[in-house]
């Protein structure tokens, strides 16, 4: 009779569950979620004679460019933080994580300001529908990311994050980079790839 | 093969404590049982809706349901059957069995698992609560096509909300399954030594993780159109109802494979046990699963042929291509049976019934996939026949097979064989009486989703017959519930390997298994570890190949 004698709890630790893999799958689903909106965007854009429509005009790019800089920087900072914690420099990680969160909050504040400057409302037709819903959903994801990073921050402060145990940081970083990439997509289709 | 030691029976705890322990459980087996109970409850509700519809349709003229009520009832019937019975029922098997079959302690994320479960009754009741608000429940069908779904009252909002909740539940569940299967297998269990059932769950979960978010996207647009003043689906203001159809069906077609793959896997697990042979072409079955899953993302517009706005040859060709891997499955099932020592226990009967009925549904589909045919068949009762041959004749018979098969593992008791065989035949006859004539009605032009029809169309006789059939199905389900009830009162008698010829690891532990599943983990050297143990116990070790 062949059976490995294993204590119950030993088996439990031998294969720890994997937040990282779970997050990769979750982000893959999120990508499909946004892809549906991008597909809608391209469909309507390809059918339109003038895009963006005359009622909207060419969008102002300066604030969105700053927004892009903020998010990209935040991703780099978080990646440096991840590297720090993986090498055991938890204090450095804490500071970089805080910086990431602050950059996220700056993004949200600046985007709210940008919304307030717009001359068209959500009810103005298909372009405004796409614009507000897509950027709004992205903004909600930034909020989600800030919350997630704050939870990781709380875990760090209570000593649950260490060189050996830093998968939550890795998982949160994957999410944050994803949110960043979605923004790059939005920035491209709404501000860069438009006739100027 | 005492993988699990006998332990003294604990004194039963007080009821309140026991209830609390079930409500807060994170044990995959208990969550699996909760999934089963919840799914069966919604099955009964949705089944009652079906009887209401059939009663109304038995004769021309309005008897029971007004057209408005009928719209709500068929919408809720389809929605509950698909999202709250079939899908969660398959997930129930997954929850109960995957950790056992791969020799794990539990799922990868037990607390997320509990969350996935509890979202289900919440979502389901949200959908149902539409009946209580002004204007009634959502009434745009389970597909909720715009612009109809952009109209409608608060019931429609509850429908959207409920679907989003159920969607989140299924996405979390799918991620959990994938991580569990990829990371928590017992030593020696390579991917290709994994029971075929786990492959079914894995493939289904990949589809859910990638397709369900697209449904959520459709729901977000729909909600925004209803309440935020956006115009995604409003053709008069620059939007397009086709965007809804494209988005919904991009999810919707993978969804139909989500609803069948696990049932295929259940049948592929059962046929070998009652044929005394290994599954024929295990790797071929795995490959077929993966091919079908991939193809299923390329065929969605076969639901939109009549819109005139899709590339007919392309979507027809991709759809017909799916019949190739599906044919492989049929071939392998039949080859598994070929020259086997067949034992006609209830699980086997339902599995065989599954093969026959699903075949009919699949052939229906092949015809619909030809645009020239579909122009005539679309939105007629033919499509209703197709849906039910694949989903009821297919998946529900598969689910029944699975329930009869694993009941002894889950409860330690067998369901009555006699009642089971009776149920099978009553259900088989009732099913065909109800749904076969729908082909003919469809060909004669009877549209689906109508509450009434004219007496002079010649549709009356078949409709009456179908209603009789529906009540026969209801009787068969009563037989099932009586069987469960009676069997649960019998003493526990099922041994570890309840059918004596099983293959996969769940049969190596006690029936029911202890909370931690296994005391000692068997080493896995082949696709059929429990058979290896059985042969070793008979002193035949070493003579066995490793297939
Ligand atoms: C060889 C396999 C199959 C083919 C070629 C096929 C083809 C099709 C086509 C072309 C339609 C659209 C008919 C119309 O609306 O005019 C359809 C509808 C449908 N199919 Fe299949 N199908 C197949 C298998 C399945 C399976 C396995 C399931 C589920 C388990 C399924 C579930 C459905 C459902 C639910 C609908 C109706 C959706 C609605 O409410 O409009 N089909 N099928
Ligand atoms: Cu389809």
Q: Please write the tens of the pLDDT for every residue from B362-399.
A: 999 999 999 999 999 999 999 999 999 999 999 999 99
Please name which of B396, B403, B433, B434 lies closest in space to residue B419, comparing C-alpha atoms.
B403
Cβ of B409 less than 6 Å from ligand 1: no
Confidence band, pLDDT 50/70/90 cuts, at residue A6 = very low
CATH code of A186's domain: 1.20.120.80
pLDDT value of position B540: 63
Q: B346-366: b or e for each residue (b if 16 or more CB lie within 10 Å)?
A: bbbbbbbbbbebbbbbbebbe
Alpha carbons within 13 angstroms on the beta-carbon side of residue A137 total 20
Q: What is the pLDDT of residues B122-143, one digit of tens each?
A: 999 999 999 999 999 999 999 9
Pair of tokens at residue A146: 């800030």
Cβ of B101 less than 6 Å from ligand 1: no
Question: For residue A62, is pLDDT > 60?
Answer: yes
Which A positions 72-111 lie with beta carbon below 8 A of chain B?
none
Pocket-testing residue among B215, B248, B301, B303, ligand 1, by greatest number of atoms within 8 A of Cβ = B303
C-beta atoms of B228 and A122 within 8 A: yes
pLDDT value of position A43: 96
pLDDT value of position B155: 96
Which residue from A21, A29, A40 is facing B171, i.e. has the nearest CB? Answer: A29
Question: For residue A91, is pLDDT > 70?
Answer: yes
**A15 reaches B (C-beta below 8 A):** yes
Q: What is the pLDDT of residues A138-181, one digit of tens each?
A: 999 999 999 999 999 999 999 999 988 889 999 999 999 999 99
**Nearest protein CA to atom 40 of ligand 1, as residue:** B143
C-beta atoms of A21 and B220 within 8 A: no
Question: For residue B2, is pLDDT > 80?
Answer: no
* Chain A hits for B230, Cβ within 8 Å: 122-123, 128-129, 132-133
Confidence band, pLDDT 50/70/90 cuts, at residue B536 = confident
What's the average model confidence in pLDDT over B427-434?
98
Question: For residue B50, is pLDDT > 60?
Answer: yes
CATH code of B456's domain: 1.20.210.10
**B321 reaches A (C-beta below 8 A):** no
Which B positions 512-531 lie with beta carbon below 8 A of chain A?
516, 519-523, 525
**Nearest protein CA to atom 14 of ligand 1, as residue:** B378
**A55 reaches B (C-beta below 8 A):** no
* Chain A hits for B228, Cβ within 8 Å: 122-123, 132-133
* Chain A hits for B243, Cβ within 8 Å: 40, 43-44
Q: What is the pLDDT of residues B90-100, one digit of tens each?
A: 999 999 999 99
Domain extent for A31: 17-192
Question: For residue B145, is pLDDT > 70?
Answer: yes
Chain B interface disruption, residue of A9, A24, A33, most B CBs within 10 A: A33
d(CA B182, CA B195) in angstroms, rounded, equals 13
* Chain B hits for A4, Cβ within 8 Å: 187, 520-523
Q: Please, which residues have CB within 8 angstroms of residue A133's CB and are 6 or more apart in sequence?
A: A37, A122, B220, B221, B224, B228, B230, B232
Portion of chain B with pLDDT greater than 90, in percent: 91
d(CA A101, CA A120) in angstroms, rounded, equals 30
Contact B423, B483 (CB under 8 A): yes
Asked, for residue B10, whether it belongs to a domain, the answer is no
Confidence band, pLDDT 50/70/90 cuts, at residue B477 = very high
What's the average model confidence in pLDDT over B238-264?
97
Distances (CA, A) of B418 to B147, B349, B354, B481: 51, 12, 19, 14
pLDDT value of position B10: 62
Contact B368, B386 (CB under 8 A): yes
Question: For residue B187, is pLDDT > 50?
Answer: yes
pLDDT value of position B5: 64
Asked, for residue B409, whether it belongs to a domain, the answer is yes
Pair of tokens at residue B481: 């519930």
Question: For residue B7, is pLDDT > 80?
Answer: no
Domain extent for B52: 25-537
Segments of B217-334 assigned E as strands: none
Q: If you write DSSP's letter for every residue of A79-131 in order, what string do you get?
A: HHHHHHHHTT-HHHHHHHHHHHHHHHHHHHHHHHHHHHH-SS-TTS-HHHHHH
What is the signed CA dihedral for A117, A57, A133, B204, rounded to 10 degrees? -140
Q: Which ligand is nearest to the CA of B303?
A: 1
Cβ of B261 less than 6 Å from ligand 1: no
What's the average model confidence in pLDDT over B468-496?
97
C-beta atoms of B210 and A28 within 8 A: yes
ipTM: 0.94
Question: For residue A109, is pLDDT > 90?
Answer: yes
Asked, for residue A108, whether it belongs to a domain, the answer is yes
Which B positions 224-253 lie with beta carbon below 8 A of chain A?
224, 228-232, 237-240, 243, 246-247, 250
C-beta atoms of A1 and B533 within 8 A: yes
d(CA B61, CA B455) in angstroms, rounded, equals 8
pLDDT value of position A18: 77
Q: If you write DSSP's letter for every residue of B7-26 in order, what string do you get?
A: -PPPPPPPHHHHHHHHHT--
Which residue from A25, A127, A130 is facing B175, i.e. has the nearest CB? Answer: A25
**CA B356: distance to chain centroid?**
17
Per-chain mean pLDDT for chain B: 94
What's the average model confidence in pLDDT over A85-109?
96
What's the average model confidence in pLDDT over B301-312?
95
pLDDT value of position B520: 84
Asked, for residue B18, whether it belongs to a domain, the answer is no
C-beta atoms of A22 and B175 within 8 A: yes
C-beta atoms of B520 and A4 within 8 A: yes
Asked, for residue B397, whether it belongs to a domain, the answer is yes
Ligand 1 atom nearest to CA at B82: 35
Confidence band, pLDDT 50/70/90 cuts, at residue B418 = very high
Q: Decide: helix, strand or coil at residue A3.
A: strand
Q: How many domains does the structure of chain A reveal?
A: 1
**B287 reaches A (C-beta below 8 A):** no
C-beta atoms of A129 and B230 within 8 A: yes
Q: How many domains does the structure of chain B reveal?
A: 1
Contact A93, A159 (CB under 8 A): no
Q: Decide: helix, strand or coil at residue B330.
A: helix
Q: What is the pLDDT of residues B58-84, one digit of tens each?
A: 999 999 999 999 999 999 999 999 999
* Sign of torsion over alpha carbons B87, B90, B95, B99: negative
d(CA B251, CA B171) in angstroms, rounded, equals 13
Question: For residue A92, is pLDDT > 70?
Answer: yes
Confidence band, pLDDT 50/70/90 cuts, at residue B522 = confident
Instruction: Look up the pTM and report it.
Output: 0.94
Portion of chain B with pLDDT greater than 70, in percent: 97
Task: Measure CA of the first residue to CA of the last residue in chain A; give whole Å.
Answer: 76
């Amino acid at each position: 009779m062949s059976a490995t004698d294993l204590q119950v709890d030993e088996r439990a630790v031998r294969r720890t569950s994997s937040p990282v893999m779970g997050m990769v799958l979750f982000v893959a689903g999120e990508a499909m979620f946004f892809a549906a909106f991008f597909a809608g965007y391209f469909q309507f854009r390809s059918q339109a004679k003038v895009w963006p429509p005359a009622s909207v005009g060419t969008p102002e790019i300066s604030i969105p460019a700053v927004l892009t800089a903020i998010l990209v920087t935040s991703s780099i900072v978080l990646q440096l933080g991840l590297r720090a914690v993986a090498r055991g420099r938890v204090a450095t990680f804490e500071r970089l994580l805080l910086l990431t969160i602050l950059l996220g909050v700056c993004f949200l504040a600046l985007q709210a300001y940008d919304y307030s400057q717009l001359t068209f409302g959500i009810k103005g037709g298909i372009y405004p529908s796409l614009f507000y819903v897509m950027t709004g959903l992205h903004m909600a994801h930034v909020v989600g990311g800030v919350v997630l990073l704050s939870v990781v921050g709380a875990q760090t402060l209570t000593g649950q994050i260490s060189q050996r145990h830093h998968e939550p940081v890795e998982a949160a970083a994957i999410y944050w980079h994803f949110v960043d990439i979605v923004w790059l997509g939005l920035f491209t289709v709404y501000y860069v790839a438009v006739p100027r | 093969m005492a993988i699990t030691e006998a332990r003294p029976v604990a004194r039963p705890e007080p009821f309140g404590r026991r209830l609390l322990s079930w409500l807060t459980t994170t044990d995959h087996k208990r969550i699996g049982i909760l999934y089963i109970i919840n799914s069966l409850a919604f099955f009964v509700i949705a089944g009652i809706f079906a009887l209401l519809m059939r009663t109304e349709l038995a004769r021309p003229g309005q008897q029971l349901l007004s057209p408005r009520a009928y719209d709500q009832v068929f919408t809720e019937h389809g929605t509950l059957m698909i999202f709250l019975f079939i899908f969660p029922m398959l997930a129930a098997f997954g929850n109960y069995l995957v950790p056992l079959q791969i020799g794990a302690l539990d799922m990868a994320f037990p607390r997320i698992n509990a969350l996935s479960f509890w979202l289900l009754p919440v979502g389901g009741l949200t959908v149902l609560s539409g009946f209580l608000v002004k204007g009634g429940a959502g009434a745009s069908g389970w597909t909720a096509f715009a612009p109809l779904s952009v109209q409608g009252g608060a019931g429609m909002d509850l429908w959207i909300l409920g679907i989003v909740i159920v969607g989140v539940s299924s996405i979390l569940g799918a991620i959990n399954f994938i991580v569990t299967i990829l990371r928590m297998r017992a030593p020696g269990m390579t991917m290709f030594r994994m029971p075929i059932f786990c492959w079914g769950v894995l493939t289904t979960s990949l589809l859910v993780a990638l397709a369900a978010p697209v449904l959520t996207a459709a729901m977000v647009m729909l909600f925004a159109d209803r309440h935020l003043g956006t115009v995604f689906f409003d053709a008069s203001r620059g939007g397009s109802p086709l965007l809804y159809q494209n988005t919904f069906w991009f999810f919707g077609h993978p969804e139909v494979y989500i609803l069948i793959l696990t049932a295929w896997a259940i049948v592929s697990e059962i046929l070998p046990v009652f044929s005394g042979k290994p599954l024929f072409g295990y790797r071929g079955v795995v490959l077929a699963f993966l091919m079908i899953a991939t193809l299923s993302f390329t065929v969605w517009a076969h639901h939109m042929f009549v819109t005139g706005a899709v590339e007919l040859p392309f979507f027809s060709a991709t759809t017909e291509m799916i019949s190739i891997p599906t044919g492989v499955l049929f071939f392998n099932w039949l080859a598994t049976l070929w020259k086997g020592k067949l034992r006609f226990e209830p699980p086997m009967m339902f599995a065989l019934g599954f093969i026959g009925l699903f075949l009919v549904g699949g052939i229906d589909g092949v015809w619909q996939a030809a645009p020239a045919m579909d122009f005539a068949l679309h939105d007629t009762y033919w499509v209703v026949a197709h849906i039910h041959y694949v989903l009821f004749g297919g998946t529900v018979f598969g689910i029944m097979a699975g329930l009869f098969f694993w009941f002894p593992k889950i409860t330690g008791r067998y369901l009555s064989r006699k009642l089971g065989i009776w149920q099978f035949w009553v259900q088989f006859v009732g099913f065909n009486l109800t749904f076969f004539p729908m082909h003919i009605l469809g060909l004669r032009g009877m549209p689906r989703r109508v509450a009434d029809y004219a007496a002079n169309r010649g549709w009356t006789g078949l409709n009456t017959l179908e209603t009789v059939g529906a009540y026969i199905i209801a009787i068969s389900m009563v037989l099932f519930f009586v069987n469960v009830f009676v069997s649960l009162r019998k003493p526990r008698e099922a041994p570890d390997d309840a059918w004596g010829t099983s293959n996969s690891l769940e049969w190596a532990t006690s029936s029911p298994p202890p909370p931690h599943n296994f005391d000692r983990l068997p080493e896995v050297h082949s696709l059929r570890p429990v058979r290896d143990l059985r042969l070793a116990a008979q002193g035949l070790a070493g003579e066995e190949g490793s297939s």
